[in-house]
Amino acid sequence: MKLEKYSFGTGDRFGHQGKAQLDAIKKAKEGGVDIAIVWNKSHREHLIVGTSPGDVRKEADDAVSSSSWSGAYYVDADHIGLSNVDSFMGPSDFFTIDVADFIGEKAGEDELEAFVKKYSEYCGQLSIDGILTPLEITIDKVRNIAEKYLVAVNQAAEIYRYIESKKGKDNFITEVSMDETAEPQTPEELLFILAALGEKGVPVQTIAPKFTGRFNKGVDYQGDVEQFNREFNDDICVIRYSVSAFNLPNNLKLSIHSGSDKFSIYPGIRRAIEEHNAGIHVKTAGTSWLEELIGLAESGESSLELVKEIYARAYSRFDELCVPYSTVIEIDRNLLPSPDEFRKWDGLQVARAIRHDASCSDYDVNIRQLLHVGYKVAAEFGDTYLQALKEHSDIVGKHVSSNLFEKHITPLFL
Ligand SMILES: [Zn+2]
C-alpha cells in the first residue's frame, strides 16, 4: 500500500460530513489535482464523541460508494500507541504512530554509542540539495539528537512491528508523529530521526514533525512565517536526501497536523512542494466541525439555539475543555463574550463570529478556538445534535465542502 503524493486528512468528529468532504476532493480532481482522502480519528476523539474505529470505516466506505469515488481513500488510526491500537486494527489501513511522549527519554549507553559512531561520518559540513547553507553536524549534535529521539524511534518500531504482525506487511500506511510536544524539531534532528527509523526498518511514508511556530486549532499560523518557510523547505530536502541515504520509502513526505486554517503559510508550502516536486499530507479534521456550527447557526430557530447552548456550556466548562488541548490553542478568556451576550446575536452574526474570515470584523479567534475544543459538549447532546445535522445537511454540507475546497485545497494545489 503506497500513499499518493498528495493526501488530505479530513477526519470528521461526528461522522456526518464524509460525502461533503469527498465532494471537495472530487472537485480538486475535476480541477486536475489528485488527492487521496484520509478519514482520521484519534482514540481521544473516539472517547469524547463515543464512537469506535469501525464507525469511521463505515462512514468512509459509505461516502465513497454513494459518491462513486474511484480514487484512493484511507481510514487513519490517528495518534495511536501500543495501549490503544488494537481496536483500530480491523477498520484502519493507515496508522499514525504517536511517539511524542517518548521524546527525551534516554536510551542505553551502548545503543547511544553505537548510533553516534555509525553517524560520525556525517560530521562536518553536510551539503544537501536544495538547502542554502550546509548543515553543521558535530559529534555533540548527533549525541544530543540520539539522546532525545532514539527511544521514541524504538517505540515507533515496536508499534509498527506489532501492527505488521496483525495486518501483514505492505497492507497499511505508516505515519510517525512527533508533533504534540513542546519543542519543534530542526531539519538536523529530522535527518537523524529518519536515519534511526530507516535503521529500525520502519517503512515510514509520512512523518509529522513539530514545526516552528504555533499551530493552534482551527485558526491561522502564529509565528515567523519566513522562518517556517525556510525550515519547511529544508525539511523537504532532508526527506529527499534521507530516502536514498537511509533506505526509506521513496514516497516519504511531510505531514502537517493541525493543518487546517493555516492560511498564511499555505503559499510557502505550495512554493516548496512545487519547487521540489514533493508530496504533502495535511490534517484538517477540526475545521469541518466548525462548519457544522456555522451551518446550524445560519439555519436559525432551534438549531441556532443549539449552537448558542453549546457555546454557553463550553464557556462555563472552559478549563475542562481547554486543558487537554493546551499546547494547540491560545484563547484570551477575557475577550470571550458572555453567554448572555452571545444569545442576543442573530444567526448570521453567530456564523460570522465563527467563520474563519480575517477580513470580517465580527470574526472572533477566541470564540472559534473555544468552540473548536467544545465538540465534547455537542457530543453530549447526542441525538439532538445529530438530528440537527441531518435536518440541515444541505447547508452544512455546502459549508463543509466549500471550506475544504476554497480555503484549503485551492491555495495549496490549484
Ligand atoms: Zn496531530
**Is 115 strand, coil or helix?**
helix
Residue 301 lies in a domain: yes
Residue 411 lies in a domain: no
Contact 360, 352 (CB under 8 A): yes
Contact 226, 180 (CB under 8 A): no
> Do 47 and 194 lie in a common domain?
yes
Return all residues near 209 (Cβ < 8 A) that are at least 6 apart.
Answer: 178, 179, 184, 185, 189, 190, 193, 235, 254
Alpha-carbon dihedral of residues 188, 192, 197, 201, nearest 10 degrees? 130
Residue 413 lies in a domain: no
> Do 310 and 205 lie in a common domain?
no
Domain count, the chain: 2
Distance 261 CA to ligand 1 centre (A): 14
Residue 326's domain comprises 288-398
Distance 308 CA to ligand 1 centre (A): 28
Contact 128, 192 (CB under 8 A): no
> Do 161 and 187 lie in a common domain?
yes
Cell digits of residue 299: 439555519
Strands 124-126 and 135-137: antiparallel
Q: What share of the chain is helix, strand, coil (3-state, %, to 5)?
A: 55, 10, 30
Which of 413, 394, 2, 365 has its CA nearest to residue 174? 2
Angle between helices 301-316 and 383-391 (to 10 degrees): 140
Identify the pLDDT of residue 324.
84
> Do 241 and 251 lie in a common domain?
yes
Contact 125, 172 (CB under 8 A): no
Buried b (16+ CB within 10 A) or exposed e, 212-222: bbebbbbbbbe
> Do 272 and 297 lie in a common domain?
no
**Inter-CA distances, 164 with 11, 160, 246, 292, Å:** 24, 6, 20, 37
Find the helix or strand (DSSP H, E) in which 242 lies. helix 225-245
Distance 179 CA to ligand 1 centre (A): 6
Residue 203 lies in a domain: yes
Distance 79 CA to ligand 1 centre (A): 7
> Do 277 and 301 lie in a common domain?
no
Residue 136 lies in a domain: no
The CATH number assigned to the domain holding 35 equals 3.20.20.70
> Do 70 and 198 lie in a common domain?
yes
Length of the chain counted residue by residue: 414
Distance 239 CA to ligand 1 centre (A): 19
First to last CA, the chain: 26
**Residue after which a domain boundary falls, among 236, 255, 286:** 286
Distance 301 CA to ligand 1 centre (A): 35
**Is 208 strand, coil or helix?**
strand
| pLDDT, tens only, 325-341 | 888 899 999 999 999 99
> Sign of torsion, CA 133 214 37 287?
negative
Identify the pLDDT of residue 325.
86
Distance 98 CA to ligand 1 centre (A): 8
Contact 287, 10 (CB under 8 A): no
Distance 177 CA to ligand 1 centre (A): 7
> Do 282 and 177 lie in a common domain?
yes
CA–CA separation, 178 and 176 (whole Å): 7
Which of 397, 356, 323, 363 has its CA nearest to residue 44? 323
> Do 330 and 223 lie in a common domain?
no
Distance 254 CA to ligand 1 centre (A): 12
Residue 116 lies in a domain: no
Where helices occur in 67-183 by DSSP H, the ranges are: 109-119, 139-167
Residue 1 lies in a domain: no
**Residue after which a domain boundary falls, among 286, 317, 334:** 286
Distance 257 CA to ligand 1 centre (A): 5
Identify the pLDDT of residue 366.
98
Distance 232 CA to ligand 1 centre (A): 17
Distance 326 CA to ligand 1 centre (A): 13
Residue 408 DSSP one-character state: I
Find the helix or strand (DSSP H, E) in which 233 lies. helix 225-245
Residue 304 lies in a domain: yes
Distance 343 CA to ligand 1 centre (A): 33
> Do 322 and 265 lie in a common domain?
no
> Do 191 and 233 lie in a common domain?
yes
Buried b (16+ CB within 10 A) or exposed e, 393-408: bebbbebbbebbbebb
Distance 209 CA to ligand 1 centre (A): 9
Which of 268, 267, 277 has its CA nearest to residue 240? 277
**Which residue, chain included where needed, has cell 480575517?**
358
- Low-confidence residues of the chain, pLDDT below 70? none
Identify the pLDDT of residue 31.
97
